[in-house]
Structure 1
Amino acid sequence: MTSRPLDGIRVIDLTRALAGPYCTMLFADLGADVIKVEPPQGDMSRTQGPHREDDELRAFGGYFASINRNKRSIAIDLTTEDGKALLRRLVQDADALIENFRPGVMEGLGLSYETLREVNPRLVYGAIRGFGDPRTGKSPYLDRPAFDVVAQAMGGVMAINGHPDSGPTKVGSGIGDIFPAVLTAFGVMAAVCDAGRTGQGRFVDVAMYDAIVSLCERVIHQHSFAGTVPGREGNDHPLLAPFGVFPASDGWVAIAAPLDKQWARLCEVMDRPELAADPRFATNAARVVHRDEMRAAIEEWTGVRDRAEITARLADTVPTGPVNTAEALFTDPHLTVRNMLAQVEQPGSATPVTLAGQPVKVTGAPPEEYRRAPLLGEHTDEILTELGCRAEEIARLRADRTAH
């Protein structure tokens, strides 16, 4: 077997910015034919940096490159009747269409799920919105715009992220976009499997707000079971100890030893048998209560050792790892072996760029390859030809600026 899991699946990608393109990239990386339908001016993120110093073309920067690889691009003006007709033709043989417009945009274009379902009854329609779609539950916030920081704030993650003496803290990575994207990919793929059995597609809707609430699951059960309102606890865990980040002589290291046997092993490595015997630290529950004393003992040991020594002495038996910077990631042999540092051509630059690879690994597939993100409309003629357009029709569509 040398096929990729999603070979033969076609996804029409009307997304822009981060959440939607990350979702469709997951499909593309695993073999789906993802056709990125862009407006004549292109996805708004094409102009975002960073850019290579030698890149005078500036077709797109790192933002766009990272989440639009392995796709084909066709530029269509969906405000025109011919443009809408082209999208309907694209949908005829597609397995899924995914968009992340605000509610009502596709309806305003005459391209709603219900309309497109008439063209292709087995079409799965995926939507990522700030507060969901009225088809699945009309939120009082339905018409509000949303970005990652809003989803993180409202979904609860900022209330538990950061140190107790600081204000709410945003997670550095755009999880308010990326986690909804992953859930949408899961939901769309589940519906595609269902359509294979029933011949009928479904509307799949993920709200960014909902996704972050799901990500913060323990906040919900803690409040329900115990009536507590979880707050910011720095790098500690409210229910597990030790479980956090500790200073080393050259940076920081994460150590998690909540199981009693792990705690005993940590005490052995630190040459502190009295800590293992101390009733204040005998169980995880006791260590949570006496967290400050426990932390002080661990920091006394870690603070005079570098991260490499701490990791070497603990990691085989106690979950341990250094707090890595981007620079450290580029030299970690694990990421090289796992093909998580993907080398990809960058138009306008003499040397390839490195992107985060695909973490979903499958057996029996050909070696992972990453095609660069497409130029705007790079595959317009190719895709129109696949739709059965003759050369004169393509020329007309280009002349009246329906296709680019």
Structure 2
Amino acid sequence: MQPHAPSHAPSHCKSTGALAGLRVVDLTQMLAGPFCTQILADHGADVIKVEAMTGDGTRVTGPFRADDTLKDFGGYFQSVNRNKRSIALDLKTGTGREILRRLIDDADVVVENFRAGVMERLGLSYETLRETNPRLVYGTVRGFGDPRSGASPYAQWPAYDVVSQAMGGMMGITGPDRDTPTKIGPGVGDTVPALMLCIGILAAVSRARATGQGQFVDVAMTDAVLAMCERIVYQTSYTGAVPAPEGNRHPLLCPFGLFRARDGHVSIACATDAFWEKLADAIGRPELAQDPAFATNAARVRHQQLVIDAIEAFTAVRSKEEIAEALGGKVPFGPVYTSAEIFADRHYAVREMLVDVEQPGSATPVKIAGVPIKLSDTPGAVRRRAPLLGEHTDEILGGIGLAEDRIRALKAQRVVA
């Protein structure tokens, strides 16, 4: 193949998002990779999701609507693959790999989350791809990173969210007591690395546009989780102490955590003495702000249980709504919400964080989480639902110059779907 300039068809650049015109070939599956590429798609990138002939494994994960007669994908896939186009390729065939190579030669970015070495065995390593596309930004997210940037002894270990949460230090400081490490509810061991990969890709794209030279972008899930848990590093380095699960308290700040309400829990975070003074007044205990045992953060940390008892004497006999009326807008405060309460809160409606999308096979739309990054001039958007498997194969192949009869032949040969 010969290097060539990108031939992005105008029809693929209709988005007015900040990343309009950016072409991304997405070879990822599960959560970390698709979450990263979806962020790019939300902000206007043309993301081509290349799937196996059987599709991304999360298509069958569900949950599914009760009336879904199609079951091409459920909630998991819908939530992290919106705004993308899908093509199915058999990469076990030479023709399938040739088509992928042509797609990548026409792209700005390729992202994959295979185990290290898979793309090399397919003859599609970064070093090979950059020969015909020197501006290519090649992004990877793996459990323990790519050997190019540090050969981990665990490089060949498969990893999911719970593995990176465990080995990155997050579970070691989370739990009801020092002896009970606990998994964080959402898949942050995937989504945080995805966010960091997205930042890395955009940094590399910026440089590629200035210099014409792409580069390899590598994020290890465990590294990303450790970076998010940065406090445990300096605590151990500065003091020699090994942090342990802290329950709903904070080792350095007080009050800073969860407090019982009559109908659940609320969070209160007074990181400054000024906020503590306002909280003491709001709960009818202004004298606490003047008491030397509680007047400073250091003193409150030393007498943490007494502080918690004083606050819960106020919160435990009131509902979350009543506490919000007393504390909202005065100190950093928030009720612990269920998803039902999130659906009912006007904040998420006005911020467009609960978005209706079509669910193929179902008579009614479904809701997915919206776009949290708000840009004033080029806002991101949920423009379309997640794609059916191979839904855009014809237009994608047509975009790289394949004629209709050639596409039909490839489908008959089961090279594409």
Per-residue Cα deviation, 1:166-219 (whole angstroms, up to 9, x for no partner): 521000100111111110011011000000011010000000110111010000
Counterpart-to-counterpart distance in 2, 1:32 and 1:39: 22
Q: Which of the residues 183, 188, 196 maps onto 2:209?
A: 196
Counterpart-to-counterpart distance in 2, 1:136 and 1:369: 35
Helix, strand or coil: the match of 1:205?
A: strand
Counterpart-to-counterpart distance in 1, 2:383 and 2:414: 31
Shift of 1:312: 1.7
Runs of 5+ unmatched residues, structure 1: none
Q: Which of the residues 141, 165, 173 maps onto 1:152?
A: 165
Q: Which of the residues 65, 68, 81 maps onto 1:55?
A: 68
RMSD of equivalent CA atoms: 1.1
Q: How does 1:101-116 map to 2 (within 5 A)?
A: 101-116=114-129
Partner of 2:239: 226
Q: Is the 8 A contact 1:91 1:119 kept in 2?
A: no
Q: Find out whether 1:84 has 2:101 as its counterpart.
A: no
Per-residue Cα deviation, 1:79-121 (whole angstroms, up to 9, x for no partner): 1111111111111221100000000111111111111111210
Runs of at least 4 residues of structure 1 off by over 4 A?
Answer: none
Partner of 1:142: 155
Number of aligned residue pairs: 403
Shift of 1:228: 0.9
Q: Which of the residues 20, 31, 34 maps onto 2:33?
A: 20
Residue identity in the other structure for 2:302: V
Q: How does 1:204-215 map to 2 (within 5 A)?
A: 204-215=217-228
Q: Is the 8 A contact 2:96 2:416 kept in 1?
A: yes
Q: Find out whether 1:352 has 2:365 as its counterpart.
A: yes
Q: Is the 8 A contact 1:248 1:305 kept in 2?
A: yes
Residue identity in the other structure for 1:175: V
TM-score calculated relative to the size of structure 2: 0.95
Helix, strand or coil: the match of 1:280?
A: coil
TM-score calculated relative to the size of structure 1: 0.98
Shift of 1:398: 1.1
Partner of 1:125: 138
Counterpart-to-counterpart distance in 1, 2:206 and 2:381: 24
Runs of 5+ unmatched residues, structure 2: 1-14
Per-residue Cα deviation, 1:342-378 (whole angstroms, up to 9, x for no partner): 1110001111000011100101236833311000000
- Percent sequence identity over matched residues? 58
Shift of 1:258: 2.5
Residue identity in the other structure for 1:113: Y
Q: Which of the residues 325, 342, 351 maps onto 1:329?
A: 342
Counterpart-to-counterpart distance in 1, 2:85 and 2:137: 20
Q: Is the 8 A contact 1:342 1:370 kept in 2?
A: no
Counterpart-to-counterpart distance in 1, 2:91 and 2:402: 17
Deviates more, 1:272-281 or 1:344-353: 272-281
